[in-house]
Structure 1
Amino acid sequence: MSNSKRTTGMVLGKFLPPHLGHQYLAEFAHNYVDDLTIVVGTLKNEPIPGELRFEWMKHMFPNDRVVHLTDENPQQPHEHPDFWNIWKESLERILPEKPDFVFASEDYGWKLAEILGAQFVPVDISRVSVPISGTEIRNNPMQNWEYIPREVRPYFAKKICVFGPESTGKSTLARNLSERFDTTLVPEYATTLINAFHDKGMEIGQADMLSIIKGHQASERALMKNANRILISDTDAVATTIWSKWLFNDCPSELLSMAAGNPSDLYLLTSPDVPWVDDQHRYIPEEGAQKREKGQKFFEDCKRALEERGLPYVVIEGNWAEREQKAIKAVEIF
């Protein structure tokens, strides 16, 4: 039986944001030592909240010790004459024990290891293995998408909502866009709930509007990690608030609050200028031309709701082919 001492290591970083270079560094260190501590050092006024970065790193490295250092320390040696002692005191206070090894992809690792009495292990300092930096990702996350870990992607992904009256091709357009941009589709949760209720001979009531919003938002959060830069959503909570007013002449404040807290980044507002297609679950009861009159009124309510909230939208109109091309162009420009 071996009596050799367990080896310990430390990785220090801002992880602003975590990227595949950081992942390589931490996994290298994890495989080099027995016990690894990852120190997430954050400041109050950085562009991505420190607590969020700490949570990301904990999720990415559940088998390592991840600690959050929030001391407002100087970031460069020229900023303070006692720079290295300040960092030495902070790290010795937060680390569970003195590390045997310090791992870094920057030259500062030499001095950091020295002040902690550890051995420095350089990892991909020339950025050959993973040629990316946090600055590059912050400046252009979409162009550098492949370097962003799945846990971090929801922060940068944009949500595109296809939104509008009944029988305007929303679901078909949303599906076609998800295929066109090779990304994830969030189907309309209201349809799921309505179908489930109808199978049991039940009808949707106003109290179920909250379940529709919660279900759709839960679906968005569950699918966001799979999104390829954008997430396509077939309607969202704003639409549910409009339907609540239409069906029950009222929209509870809780629904309005939930809609306000989770808007989409771009709305594709589908115009009712295409032929009406009947469906067993249509909720506009009028016949013939009155259906389109009601559809136009619903369209105006949708437009008003977006404008009152200051949400960006593009009207999608014309025949089916024109609508799809306009939607594709709107997403590409966005």
Structure 2
Amino acid sequence: MDALAARPAPATGGRGVTPRPARGFVLGKFMPPHNGHVFLCDFGRAYCERLTILVCSLPDDPIPGRLRHEWMQALFPDCDVRWCEEDLPQEPADHPDFWAIWKDVVHRYGGAPDVVFASESYGLRLAQEVGARFAPVDPDRIAVPMSGTAVRENPFACWDALPAPVRPWFVKRLCLFGPESTGKSTLAARLADRFGTISVPEYGRTYTEMFGGEVGVEDLHHIVAGHRAAVAAASRQARRILIEDTDPVLTSVWCEMLTGRRDPALDAFDQLADHYLLLDVRAPWTDDGTRYFPDLADRQRFLSLCIEALERRGASWTLIEGADWAAREAQAVAAALAAFPGLAEISPPPPRP
């Protein structure tokens, strides 16, 4: 469970402390939830006995309301987290009965709260409308200077303000792609170090080291399932970008190289990485005893199939070429910065000792 979700419930007072109100209410878009929202809701949890959190969404919101509701449920499992997807007025000027409409919303989703919590000025009027007390929470953004707008405009710069369940939505995926012995695994590790994130190792190697090198189509399907699971798990721990050492698209190329035909199920994979680095075959071949297709003609055919697979899917990709490993790494870093401009604003982590 995420550390935020696992934190203990707030203490329930002591001598000389006024009894806590029974019911509190918070509403918001939480688009996305950030640490300012966490502070707001934790304030409410500590202030009252039972907190209702209402996630409001509209059909054209850039982040689906259902997902935001799931995030808030994960972050606040001890609260009553509701979801309102009604098309409601957003400002008093939008409808003459604006406050009456929202009063009804509060009563339908939150009952009759004793306290309304908000960081915005609307909270006072809303509390008055529903007959509740108003508790302002960090209205000047001193405790947590963050906003949903800032996150949406530059999520990389706001990364540390994003709770773990939210981060996978904003993670960008960079995939190392190409034939055997082109430096994918080494480069994946170096890029992960350079950008202070983690890399997903090649699941095909994990699989064949466990079960042997004779691989059929069914094995390739298991490899794809393992890779997808690894990406889902790693996305919660990645910082800004996730480096992938191969992906299911490359597995489909492997299928064609090994069997001489394409597999419809593998070809149907459409969860593409945000950018691919295609490594050419001019790097020297290294035989580690497990690699396939050492012949240069086979390697060139493999590379051609890689290009076809990326082009057929409309993927974004950059060719990394040359025989010099340092030059290839420099090309890869430059390509990553070009594909994800927000990375350029983030200082690289200090080198590991």
TM normalised by structure 2 equals: 0.88
For residues 60 and 284 of structure 2, the distance between their equivalents in structure 1, rounded to whole angstroms, comes to 53
Deviations 1:172-192 (A, max 9, x none): 000111111110110011011
Pairing 1:114-193 to 2, within 5 Å after superposition: 114-193=128-207
Deviation at 1:204, TM superposition (A): 2.1
Provide the aligned C-alpha RMSD in A.
1.4
Deviation at 1:70, TM superposition (A): 1.3
Deviations 1:21-51 (A, max 9, x none): 0011011111111100100011111111111
1:99 aligns with 2:96: no
SS state at 2:36 partner: helix
1:10 to 15, 25, 35: 25
For residues 257 and 198 of structure 2, the distance between their equivalents in structure 1, rounded to whole angstroms, comes to 30
2:304 to 300, 306, 317: 300
2:247 to 236, 254, 257: 236
Q: How many residues are matched? A: 321
Pairing 1:278-293 to 2, within 5 Å after superposition: 278-284=287-293, 291-293=295-297
1:50 aligns with 2:65: yes
Deviation at 1:252, TM superposition (A): 2.6
Which blocks of at least 5 consecutive residues in structure 2 are unaligned? 1-14, 340-353
Identical amino acids, percent of aligned pairs: 46
For residues 203 and 296 of structure 1, the distance between their equivalents in structure 2, rounded to whole angstroms, comes to 23
For residues 283 and 39 of structure 2, the distance between their equivalents in structure 1, rounded to whole angstroms, comes to 52
* Contact 1:271 1:315 survives alignment (8 Å): yes
1:195 to 193, 205, 209: 209
1:65 aligns with 2:65: no
Q: What is the one-letter code of the residue matched to 1:278?
A: D
Paired residue for 1:270?
279
2:234 to 220, 223, 241: 223
Deviations 1:278-299 (A, max 9, x none): 0221121x5xxxx122111111
For residues 55 and 278 of structure 1, the distance between their equivalents in structure 2, rounded to whole angstroms, comes to 47
Q: What is the one-letter code of the residue matched to 1:306?
A: L
Deviation at 1:330, TM superposition (A): 0.9
TM normalised by structure 1 equals: 0.93
* Contact 2:20 2:48 survives alignment (8 Å): no
Deviation at 1:144, TM superposition (A): 1.4
For residues 5 and 209 of structure 1, the distance between their equivalents in structure 2, rounded to whole angstroms, comes to 58
SS state at 1:209 partner: helix
For residues 264 and 76 of structure 2, the distance between their equivalents in structure 1, rounded to whole angstroms, comes to 40
Paired residue for 1:35?
50
For residues 193 and 156 of structure 1, the distance between their equivalents in structure 2, rounded to whole angstroms, comes to 29
Q: What is the one-letter code of the residue matched to 1:44?
A: P
Which blocks of at least 5 consecutive residues in structure 1 are unaligned? none
SS state at 2:276 partner: strand
